Structure formats: structure tokens, C-alpha cells
Structure 1
Amino acid sequence: MNKTKPLKVLHTSDWHIGDTICSKRRYDEFEFALNWLYRVIEEKNVDVVLISGDIFNTSTPSSQAQELYYRFLHNISKSNCKGVVITSGNHDSPSFLSAPKEILKVLNVHVIGSISENPEDEVIVLSDNDEPILIVCAVPYLREKDLRLPEEGESISERETKVIKAIKKHYNMVFEIAKNKKNELKLDIPIIIMGHLFLGSAILEDDDGIRDLYIGSLCQIPVEFLPQEADYIALGHIHTPQIIGKNEKIRYSGSLLPMGFKSNEQKKKVFLAQFYNKNLTVESIEVPKKKDLISISGNIKEIAQKLEELSNTGKEYYLEVVYTGEEIISNLKEQVESLSRSNNIEILKIKNGRLSNSLNDEFESSDNELSLDPISMFERCLEEKSVPEEQRSELRNAFKEILRYMSERDLSSEDS
């Protein structure tokens, strides 16, 4: 590794290209964010870019989503960046992501869509002018079917325990290969682990785009199960940027865009890890937003005042409006939409806080009418069918298993 300058590694994840908010397409936001990210790579003279999963929001991304992705990679190929490493997330199709990997290698882009029979495939040595500068353990999102076969008669909790042990074993195996590779090279270069998983000690924020299906109690990994000798651990899956356990070298970069409405502005980040003379420093870089996703609440007068205040900022907003006034308003949607505001403000969701617990809330926006998640719908079915409480636990676990199986199907695979 060049001792005259630091090695600069940019850590990002959870782009979710193709994501919508209340059925609103967000391609302009993704283009804005990716163009900014490319400028950062150029201005900061980044050596390596790591993208830790969930590149796309679906296993079958649109042509427009693919265009944004490939344009970004093409732009990087024209920069001084020495390499890009991409791993798949739970939203990605491993087969789709991996299909062009041999072509992308020409651009120094390395894609790991799924584990293979040879774990050495997940260990990538990146070089600068033929001199190795970094070893990356590029571990993709690990599905149970990739790690083990369920055994007859085992309970859900037993399966979870065995899956977690298998995940730990896989990370340790890949890291050992990386350490052996480093010894073979006889060079003092960093080893970075990439992962897309849920650490039990991670902090979650409400309404940040993480569905209960992927959190719940399923496969929460203790942070100590990851190889602690690694020089940096670049994680994806949780959408809130954070340091894990006050350990500067274990981080989630979070999603590139806000994924849900908040009562205040959300700060999205990427991390720039710099290695110099065996020392690690990490710079947190805030991602600018083309549009802010926020939630405002109050009675009609208070909502009108907040809309005026937001209009005066000159920023672009997608809004959730929650009516919390005492007065019962029969035409809430019409009243809110008629309030004065700038053209930069688009109201996507209107909720009547007084009626939010009613299934027949006819005054909420049409986008909110179908917002119940599958878990909530299943709980409602249990109630309606008067299923005894002692039977519900096993039924819940079975339902979550079905949902998880459906979410992990690789729709781009010939085996699907």
C-alpha cells in the first residue's frame, strides 16, 4: 500500500433504486443522489467504493432503475477509483445482479450476488498499479437455503439458532481465507468485511422503510459473531446510519434516500474510511436531498401555518399530513389539499388522526387505505377467527416463515 497517502474507502448501501413513496416514482431523487455520490468520489479522490446490498428495491428492477445503476458504474470507471465491490441484499435478485459480473470486471467492478461452492470467490484483492492495497470479504445477504437445509421436526427457534450459527461460521470462514491471502501477499494492507444483515444491537427508527418481516426476531446476529479483527466492517440492511456498540470500525451507512415520513428532517450519510499507517479515521458525509420527506400534524389552522413555513424555505417536500384537531371534518382531504402552499410541496398522504384506528376511515387518502402490512392483517385474522392465544405463537412463526420465503425468492432465477 502506498505509504505516502491514505487509502480512502467509501461505504454506502441500501440504494433501493426504484423505490416509491405512496406510489410516487422517485427516479429524479435517485439520479440526484447518485450524481452527488459520483462527485464525492471524484472530489475526495476515493480509491475504493463498497456498496453493501439492496442496490435495487425489487428483484426485477425497471429499465430506468437499471440505467441509473449502470450509468453510475460507467462514470466511476472514468474516475481515479481503483475498484468497486457490490454485494447483494435481501431485496436484490442474486442472479440478476450477478449476470453481468464478468463484463463489469473490465470496469474494475466486482459483484457478489450469492455464495458459491468456493468461499474464496467472496475474497477480493484490490490493487493500484498491480500493487495490492485492500482485501475485501464481500459477503452477500445470506439466505437459509444458501447455508443449510431444514431438518425434520425442528422448531422455529431451533432453526433460527442454527441459521445464526451458520452465518457466523460463514463469516469466519471467509475472513480466515482473507487473512491467509494477506499472509501470502506479505503486505500490511487492511481487511474489510462487507455484510447485509441485522445486528441485534442496531438502532431502528420508526417509519424508515424497514418492514417487520426482515426484523422481528428472525436472525438477529450478535455483533461479536462477526470477526472483530477486521479493520472495518461495512454493513447494509438497516436504513439508519450508525456506529455499532461505539466501535468506530463497525458501521451501517444507512439508506441513500429517506424511506419514510418523519416529523423532522432525516440526515442520510455515507462513510469515508481512511487507512494510513495502521490508523483508521472515518469521515461522515451527509447526503443532500432533492426532496425532504416529512410529516406534519395539527388542526387545520396549524397545518396551514406549517405549510406556509415550509413554503418559505424554498425546498422541495413530499408530505404526510396528520389531522389531530378536535373538530370532526367530513371533507378533510379536500380541505387540506385546498390550503395554500408552494409548488415545491406535494402532499402524498393525508391521515385523520381521530379515526386512525378505524378500518373504515373513508377520509384518509387512497394511498393509506392499503397500508396495512401482512403481519397486521394476519393478526386481524387471528382476532376475527377467535384463535386461542396458546395456538397463536406457532401460527405467527409459520406465517413469518412463509413471508420470508416469498421475499427471498429470486424471481430472476430459472429455478423460481
Structure 2
Amino acid sequence: MRILHTADWHFGRSLEGRSRLQEQEAFVDELVTIVKDEAIDLVLLAGDVYDSVNPPAAAEQLFYEAMSRLSDGGKRSIAVIAGNHDHPERVSASAPLAARSRIHLIGMPTDEPIMVDVARTGERAVIAGLPYPSESRLRELLSEATDETLLRSAYSERVGRLMQRLGGFFREDTVNLAMSHIYVLGGLETDSERPIQIGGAYTVDPSALRVGAQYVALGHLHRPQRVDGDERMRYSGSPLAYSFSEAGQAKSVIVFDAEPGKLIEPRELLLSSGRPLVRWTAKGGLTEVYGWLEEGRDARSWIDLDVYMTESMTLQHIQQLRRQHEGLVHIRPIYPETAETAEAGGLSREQLPAEELFRRFFSRQTGGAEPDADTVQLFLELIAEDDESASSQDTDIANERLEGGEGQ
């Protein structure tokens, strides 16, 4: 059978308020073409179907349209597990209806594998599918131990035991696969995927997933990559770049042929449907930026712009830049007095306001996600209350914690 591995669609996600729906629709079109051209028998979607537990209606509609088109009336099987951004019950709510079209939707961790029969080859795939295994979803509390190593060990071992149970259904005459939405130790993160964790407690050692599967399909990290140098344990990555930390990354899906007892040789198929995310640094000021715009540089890209200025940037400057390129997402002026520190990595902690410190801390702790306005406001209200009752010593401690978070 021929299998395609994809993950981290994040339908409903925007970029600083800019809709990505058209790009996501284009990705679905591209994926439908790929599965037809490659004669795919089984699609593995390793979590994060949506970007939030309560996605907009358009995102849900796009997902169900994608499932319908990919399954092609039940001619092709699909296995979907929930990710950390998904509400598990929302993912699995339509499972009884979807099953009629050979679409398997799994929301919560279970000790039953996914069984897929492929009529074209007469083969059966046994999938040890583990949706995002948060402690609550595993219905198991973290150990009361405070040592981070012990916490990580307990969680990783718990995941390993569950995977071993699922792997117990593997047989010599079946195609044996594993799939999970999880952060495996050693994976390279970008700024748009990692959830808030207690230290490193929600990381899993690669050995926990080695349960005899011929291929391990992973979701959660948005950069396509092998895990621990293992060619057959992979993150497919997201189909679109969802943060500027992914600027320049090639996006792809993984395709491979699988037979019982045979070695799998995965290959990457590059995607082209998403708009690139690029960073511009204009040391020549606005004149240099206008020159780039006139020559049509990165015309279909989303752009993060740093522009060196010797005079104040006005609202008129910003409006003119945005009129010339609607893809300019961030426009940051850099002035002579801050240029040196900016080139060295940004302003010092002492120069940053509390709101910016919190944004950086939140971004680091979540792998680059941006806090929404309500979260920022709640933080500001909390520190305002703290200021009324706490001493300046408490403020110093808070700043030290923020600084420590940025260095993780």
C-alpha cells in the first residue's frame, strides 16, 4: 500500500489578524492532486487539524470538504488523530458518519489501534494511533515529584507503556504503523507549535515510540525532520509556514510504500501552495524598501520588516508601505541609538516594558505563539494588583524568572 503522512494543518489560523484561509484551501487542492497522482491508499493526519478548540465555521467546513475529497467516496482510507490545538470530542464527533467513508477520527487516547484494510493490495494496516497525550487526556495526574527529570521520566514511560499496548496488535502479516502528536526529545522547534509545559515534562524519549512499527508518523513540530536520526520516525511538518521563525523553510508531505515485514523508504514531496514568510532588513532605510517594492521583490510573500531610520517613522510612512505591499505584516523602525543592541539581538531586558517581557516569555514558553489581547490584559492586571501589595524585591524576582524563561 502507498501511504501519505501529513500533520499540523491548523485550519482557522491567521497571521497577525490576516486570514490564511485561501492558502489553506489551496493546500487542500494541492493535497488532493498529490493523493491522486501518487495513487495513495491511506492518508495519515497526525494532529492539529484546527488551530483552536473552537475553530471558526469556515475552518470546520474546509476540513470536512478535505476529508470528503481525499477519501473520494471511500476509495481511500484516512486516519486522523487529535493534536494539542484540537478539542478531542470535536475531532471525533462525526466519527460514526465518517467511518462509512473509511475515515477514522480519533480524539482521545485509547488502547485500541486503528485497523485499515486496503482493497487494492489486500493488505491490512495496523496503526498504533496516540492523539495528543496530555496528562488530562491520559486521565492521569503528574507525579507530585518536583524534579524535572523524574517528571519527564514518568510521562515518557507512561506514553511508552501505552504505545507498547497498542503495538501488541502488530502482526507479521500486517503493515505496522505508529502515529502520535507529541514532542519527542531532540526535535527542532519553531515559534508556532510548542504548548505551555511544566519544565520539560511533556517531552517523550524516542525509545517510547519504538514499539515495532515500520514507520512512526509524528505531528506537533512544524519543521519537517527525522527524529534521533531515524529515517522512519518523522515529523511531516506543517503545510504552511505559520510564524516568521519558519521563514525559508520548505514545506512537504511524506510518501512511502509499505508491505508487511518490508523496510520502508520515505520520500518528501515539496508543497507550493502557501505564501512564503520572509524577513527584510533594510539598512538603507525607507529608500531601500521602496526600491525593493518597486522591483516586485517577494510579491506574494508575508514580510517581517526591520528598517533602519534616522528620522521618526510616521503613520503616513506605514500606510504608504502597506498600500504598496499588502503582505507587510510587521514594520519595525530601528533608530541609531538602538541599532547596536538590535544587531546584537534586541533591547536589553531593562529597556523593555512589562508587556513586551511577557510577550517574549509567552512566545518562548509556547514555542513562539503570540498571546491574544485578553491574555496580555490579564497579565497586566495581575502585575498591577501585585504592585499594590508586593515590594520591589518581588518585581526583581519576576523579572529574573522572565529572563530565565527567555533563555530556555
Q: TM bucket by the smaller chain? A: 0.7 to 0.9
Q: Does 1:55 align with 2:49?
A: yes
1:407 aligned partner: none
Q: Does 1:132 align with 2:126?
A: no
- Aligned equivalents of 1:237, 1:252: Cα separation in 2: 8
2:272 aligned partner: 288
> Match of 1:143, SS?
coil
2:21 aligned partner: 27
* C-alpha deviation, 1:255, in angstroms: 0.8
- Aligned equivalents of 1:71, 1:340: Cα separation in 2: 34
2:95 aligned partner: 101
* C-alpha deviation, 1:370, in angstroms: 9.2
Cα–Cα, structure 1 residues 214 and 64, in superposed 2: closer, same or farther, change >3 Å? farther
> Match of 2:277, SS?
strand
Cα–Cα, structure 1 residues 170 and 228, in superposed 2: closer, same or farther, change >3 Å? closer
The count of aligned residue pairs is 368
Q: Is the 8 A contact 2:167 2:211 kept in 1?
A: no
After the TM superposition, list the runs of 4 or more consecutive aligned residues in structure 1 that deviate by more than 6 angstroms.
375-380, 388-393
Cα–Cα, structure 1 residues 336 and 76, in superposed 2: closer, same or farther, change >3 Å? same
> How do residues 12-411 of structure 1 correspond to structure 2 at under 5 angstroms?
12-78=6-72, 81-116=75-110, 119-120=111-112, 122-128=113-119, 131-147=122-138, 149-150=140-141, 153-155=144-146, 157=148, 158-176=150-168, 178-179=169-170, 182=171, 187=173, 189-205=174-190, 207=191, 209-211=192-194, 213=196, 217-262=200-245, 264-275=247-258, 278-299=262-283, 300=285, 301-309=287-295, 311-312=296-297, 315-323=299-307, 325=308, 327-332=309-314, 334-339=316-321, 345-354=326-335, 357=347, 358-359=351-352, 371-372=359-360, 374=362, 385-387=392-394
Q: Is the 8 A contact 2:164 2:211 kept in 1?
A: no
Query: TM-score, length-normalised on structure 1?
Result: 0.78
Identity of aligned residues (%): 21
* C-alpha deviation, 1:47, in angstroms: 0.6
Query: TM-score, length-normalised on structure 2?
Result: 0.79
Cα–Cα, structure 1 residues 103 and 304, in superposed 2: closer, same or farther, change >3 Å? same
Cα–Cα, structure 1 residues 102 and 248, in superposed 2: closer, same or farther, change >3 Å? same
- Aligned equivalents of 1:84, 1:43: Cα separation in 2: 17
- Aligned equivalents of 1:263, 1:239: Cα separation in 2: 8
- Aligned equivalents of 1:73, 1:111: Cα separation in 2: 10
- Aligned equivalents of 1:152, 1:201: Cα separation in 2: 23
Q: Is the 8 A contact 2:77 2:116 kept in 1?
A: no
- Cα deviation digits, residues 366-397 of structure 1 (max 9, x gap): xx99955547787996999533989999x89x
- Aligned equivalents of 1:212, 1:53: Cα separation in 2: 14
Q: Which runs of 5+ in 1 are unaligned?
A: 1-6, 362-367, 400-416
More RCO (CA 8 Å, sep 6+)? 1
- Aligned equivalents of 1:215, 1:289: Cα separation in 2: 36
